[in-house]
């Protein structure tokens, strides 16, 4: 399942998964990707037909195996009937795991730095090599055309129908975007590779209209990396757009109607100094290079939450042989 957090294991145990899932929740809160809302999940190493995620509580306060709930991929129902109350939007996770067999970790976030790209019509793109996984364009999924008759129009992915629609956005029927699947299919099978490219997602991250974003990966470290660097990419692009507009301003082009009082006819606003984004090839190669280094920031992020008194991780770990 993982090339970073569990480097010496051919098979991940539940103790490792629990400790890693709690740590991931803390890291994502520490870095402002999650607040009291949002969630991370991991597919079960013992049974690919189930997955684990925290119960309905703030991610920063998750601390023990008792705070984690196992769900069925088929319908997002609890494996244990007396399990703690879970998140309403767990169908985001179940439908992604159902559609993509090699995906083992998912994060859903309402990160405020990313939200402007969910409502403004400005596309989020990879502008630096650390965000190569975003590709040359990030899809924007709009829930408004997928509500069921009589259902609530509250933007929440509260059932399997909405979850399936969102999961399909990671692999559109036609796509000219960054083929995340090319990198994924080249990986060894034990860390999430696949010999079935048609079952691989084309995108690592999808924006959700007026809601947030969801990102998927083949392990805990990788999905945490992508969630954090989706936020960073949005911050960097916003800053670049701001200073570009402040420095260059805008030029209005058109024909002056002298007889009409000097009005400009067929006016167009032209902006100077366009931003430079990564090409498809640059995004692909940058992510391919960075993918093998996710253990480096992961070790730093683990230490950051370990020494912060807010976070408690009382899950037992397994000593590596």
Residues that are catalytic: 89
Q: Are 93 and 72 in contact (CB under 8 A)?
A: no
d(CA 271, CA 47): 54
d(CA 192, CA 221): 13
Structure tokens at 122: 């400005």
Closest C-alpha among 2, 211, 10 to residue 92? 211
Query: Residue 120 to residues 123, 199, 215: CA-CA distances in angstroms?
Result: 8, 31, 20
Q: Are 151 and 159 in contact (CB under 8 A)?
A: yes
Specify the 3-state DSSP secondary structure of 237. helix
Closest C-alpha among 25, 30, 15, 27 to residue 55? 25
Tell the residue number behind the tokens 């100077």, with chain if given.
Answer: 272
Structure tokens at 96: 């992604």
Classify residue 32 by its DSSP letter: T
């Amino acid at each position: 399942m993982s090339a970073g957090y569990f480097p010496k294991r051919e098979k991940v145990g539940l103790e490792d998964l629990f400790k890693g899932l709690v740590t991931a929740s803390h890291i994502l809160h520490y870095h402002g990707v999650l607040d009291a809302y949002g969630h991370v999940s991991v597919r079960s190493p013992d049974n690919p037909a189930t997955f684990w995620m925290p119960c309905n509580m703030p991610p920063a306060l998750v601390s023990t195996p008792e705070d984690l709930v196992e769900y069925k991929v088929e319908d997002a129902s609890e494996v244990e009937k007396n399990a703690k109350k879970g998140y309403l939007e767990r169908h985001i996770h179940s439908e992604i795991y159902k559609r993509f067999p090699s995906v083992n970790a998912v994060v859903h976030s309402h990160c405020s730095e990313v939200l402007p790209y969910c409502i403004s019509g400005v596309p989020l793109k990879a502008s630096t090599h650390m965000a190569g996984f975003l590709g040359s364009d990030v899809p924007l999924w709009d829930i408004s055309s997928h509500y069921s008759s009589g259902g609530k129009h509250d933007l929440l992915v509260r059932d399997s129908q909405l979850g399936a629609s969102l999961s399909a956005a990671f692999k559109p029927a036609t796509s000219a975007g960054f083929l995340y699947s090319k990198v994924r299919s080249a990986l060894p099978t034990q860390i999430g590779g696949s010999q079935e490219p048609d079952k691989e997602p084309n995108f690592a991250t999808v924006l959700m209209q007026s809601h947030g974003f969801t990102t998927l990966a083949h392990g805990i470290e990788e999905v945490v990396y992508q969630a954090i660097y989706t936020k960073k990419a949005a911050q960097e692009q916003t800053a670049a757009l701001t200073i570009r507009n402040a420095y260059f301003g805008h030029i209005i082009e058109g024909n002056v109607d002298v007889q009409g009082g000097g009005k400009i006819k067929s006016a167009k606003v032209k902006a100077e100094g366009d931003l430079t984004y990564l090409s498809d090839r640059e995004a692909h190669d940058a992510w391919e290079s960075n993918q093998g280094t996710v253990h480096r920031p992961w070790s730093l992020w683990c230490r950051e939450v370990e020494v912060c008194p807010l976070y408690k991780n009382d899950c037992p770990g397994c000593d590596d042989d």
